[in-house]
Amino acid sequence: MFPDPVCPSRYHCTHMAGVHSVGLTWFEKLGTFLAASEEDQESLHELATEQKCLVEHILCTKPLPCSLPAPIQGFWIISDLALGTAMICVTSEYECITRPLQTAISQPSPLLLCSQDDQSVSETLPRVLADVKGSFESHIRGILSRNSGNPLLLNASNKDSSPPPEECLQLLSRAIQVFREEYALKEDLAREEIQRRVKLLMIQKEKQMEDLQHCKEERIRLKETAERLAEKYEEAKDKQEALINRMKGVLRNFYTQLCILSDSERDMKKELQMTSEQLHHLGNAIKQIKMKTAYQEKQVEKEKSPSVSNLTLNNYQKKTIQTVLKEE
């Protein structure tokens, strides 16, 4: 038995009939349990619930009981990022044979540099899409996973004897049974699951297309509503501007009719009032003068009427009398 240089939990066993690979999936958790403290019960629970070991028949060099033993000369394990983990066997006739190993028990390959950059991008994807994709892929992988398989058969060359037909038929029947149970039936089941999933996705796609069409119609309706609202807004804005202009005109006319005088107009008003008062006083003075003149004329006539005086006045006296009358 030889340990796997790539996966520590896998061992390879060579014997007279070929090569077997044994995967101890609980080996790593066993080391964790042994290194843990006595109070740590979680590692014990995980170790108890771990599945059994996986045995894989890689190469069969003695397919029939009557076949001659043909042990291999040696093997080597290679690990490639593209091809995965594989075993290179050197047969008894010094031929190189490459056989892939199961990836269920192998450690995951390190990420590429380009995939590390895309990791942040993948984290931004919707979680629903990632969960659906991952769960469905794991479901299909679980369906297609094989519990047993047909190893590569190598028979030692023996020209003198040939294997019995019964054993060959039994070997062929066993290979056909394994192929039918582990390949054909599981592929049919996986195909049914894929078809069912495709049908569900088609129904979901139709529903999404209907929702998309509804969204488009709703978008058109909202666009038309927005256009109508924009037109109404423009009309309301124009009416508002017209009302504002009309209100400005009314206020302008109202302010023009208010008795609001400037300083010069107030001064002119005061001067006019003073002039009006002066004219009123002058008018009263003229009336008094006219009344006095009329009274004096009456007195003069009364004096003339009884007797006609022969009094004569010279020019100087007349001027003096007129001056006195004017002063009064």
Among the ranges given (16-30, 176-190, 312-326), the one the predictor scored with the smallest mean pLDDT:
312-326
Neighbouring CB atoms inside 10 A of 61's CB total: 25
User: What's the pLDDT at 129?
Assistant: 45
- The larger pLDDT score, comparing residue 231 to residue 124, is at 231
- The larger pLDDT score, comparing residue 311 to residue 255, is at 255
Interval 125-141 mean pLDDT: 63
Predicted confidence (pLDDT) at residue 42 exceeds the cutoff of 80:
no
Q: Which band of pLDDT confidence, cut at 50, 70 and 90, is reported for residue 112?
A: very low
Distance (Å, rounded) from C-alpha 146 to C-alpha 190? 13
Which of 12-26, 167-181, 266-280 shows the highest mean pLDDT?
266-280
The closest alpha carbon to 204, from 106, 136, 145, 141, belongs to 136
pLDDT single digits (tens) 48-80: 565 667 778 888 887 777 777 778 888 888 887
Concatenate the DSSP letters of all residues of 209-250 into one string.
HHHHHHHHHHHHHHHHHHHHHHHHHHHHHHHHHHHHHHHHHH
Predicted confidence (pLDDT) at residue 24 exceeds the cutoff of 90:
no
- Cα dihedral angle (138, 143, 146, 152), rounded to 10 degrees? -90
User: What's the pLDDT at 118?
Assistant: 46
The closest alpha carbon to 6, from 89, 84, 78, belongs to 78
- The larger pLDDT score, comparing residue 213 to residue 160, is at 213
User: What's the pLDDT at 220?
Assistant: 95
Distance of CA 87 to the CA centre of its chain: 49
Predicted confidence (pLDDT) at residue 221 exceeds the cutoff of 90:
yes
Long-range CB pairs of 67-70, under 8 A, 24+ apart, other chains included: 67/155, 67/156, 67/163, 68/156, 68/158, 69/16, 69/17, 69/156, 70/16, 70/154, 70/155, 70/156
Q: What is the maximum span of the chain, computed from C-alpha positions, in angstroms?
A: 211
Q: Are 75 and 21 in contact (CB under 8 A)?
A: no
Interval 235-243 mean pLDDT: 94
pLDDT single digits (tens) 171-203: 788 888 878 887 888 889 999 999 999 999 999
Sheet of 54-60, strands arranged across: 2-3, 10-15, 18-23, 54-60, 152-153
Mean pLDDT of the chain: 78
Q: Are 91 and 14 in contact (CB under 8 A)?
A: no
pTM of the model: 0.45
Strand-pair partners of 84: 80
Q: Strand (E) positions, 101-210?
A: 152-153
User: What's the pLDDT at 228?
Assistant: 94
Predicted confidence (pLDDT) at residue 110 exceeds the cutoff of 60:
no
Distance (Å, rounded) from C-alpha 75 to C-alpha 6? 14
